[in-house]
Amino acid sequence: MSDIRVKIDGVAMAAPDKVLTNKDLEKIVDTSDEWIRTRTGMVERRISDEHTAASDIVLKACEKLFKKSSLRTRDIDLIIVATVTPDHAFPSTACILQTKLGIPHCPAFDISAGCTGFIYAITIAKQFIENGAATNALVVGVELLTKITNWTDRNTCVLFGDGAGAALITQAHKGEISEIIDTYISSDGRYGDLLIMRGGGSRNPTSKETVEKNMHTLYMEGNKIFKIAVKSMGDAAVKILERNGFTGEDLDWLIPHQANLRIIDATAKRIRLLPQKVIINIEKYGNTSSASIPLAFAEAIDDGRIRRGDLIVLDAFGAGLTWGSVLLRY
């Protein structure tokens, strides 16, 4: 086991300026503000324009991040981008971001783990640093889900928004309290078809037919996903706490993936955590997939809720199906 300890140095976020409210959605599909609020907890979400790509919005988050940190871009020796909405199929968005930040000659790659992507990325970065293969990692969660949303499907188009979050994962110095204590990730591909974008890959290459069949937009079986998400996120939170000798009562904060307010509430109840200890911003941004945890994390740091030394669990569930959790002291 490595003697190297790893910490989160800082987190920053960015989101598009354009806001799409529930009232706006009432004009697009057969829905209502009341229906959306009661079933999801969402009030509005951010929408990127047609010229904005994933690397554009995450660049803004990274610029904020480096302004807050003593680290400079030249110190970065690993870049991991978690996304299901990359700029292109290839090259990776991580390589594009690397160029925009002027960071030469370091590993840069994307991962696809749906809404659990940020937790997967933290896990990978932690292992790189513990193994001595990296010292300072830039870990990103970014999604422009509104670009793959079916705006005629009232059950899914109300859910998703765009945003980005970035974190610096570094070695913790001797005597520092900050530390990523443990991570846990898992998946079960048997349920992959419940949350999928079928078009555009080698299984269904882009064609006139795939476009006409709306195969390039997100498909989700919401009721089935809801049940699995509630169990999986609850299990992940319990597992990371129990194997490190903690309970929900020890936590300062839970930062869950912002998928649905009912899922968030169920997860908090599972670990017996008071509602006021749960970081929630779903009402402002909707479901931003891999960006949702760093978005919420960054906002809570910026407004003073999260402080150095706080004990925190990050918890997520997503396409794959994937799930995972991180236990850390910020």
Distance, in Å, from the CA atom of 118 to the CA atom of 164, rounded to the nearest integer, reads 11
Residue where the block lists tokens 């003697």: 3
How many whole angstroms from its chain centre is CA 150?
21
37: helix, coil or strand?
Answer: helix
316: helix, coil or strand?
Answer: strand
CA angle 66, 71, 73 (to 5 degrees): 65
Phi, psi of 238 (to 5 degrees): -65, -45
CA pseudo-torsion sign 302, 306, 312, 313: negative
Q: Token pair of 153, please?
A: 């499907």
257 phi-psi bin (left φ>0, alpha ψ -120 to 50, beta other): beta
Distance, in Å, from the CA atom of 142 to the CA atom of 81, rounded to the nearest integer, reads 7
Q: Token pair of 168, please?
A: 């610096």
- Strands 136-144, 78-82: pairing kind: parallel
Distance, in Å, from the CA atom of 204 to the CA atom of 137, rounded to the nearest integer, reads 35
Q: Is 136 a catalytic residue?
A: no
Among 115, 136, 157, 260, the active-site one is: 115
275: helix, coil or strand?
Answer: helix
Q: Is 223 a catalytic residue?
A: no
Dihedral angle of Cα 235, 290, 69, 310, to the nearest 10 degrees: -20
Q: Is 257 a catalytic residue?
A: yes
Among 62, 257, 260, 281, the active-site one is: 257
CA pseudo-torsion sign 168, 306, 21, 286: positive
Residues classed as catalytic: 115, 257, 287
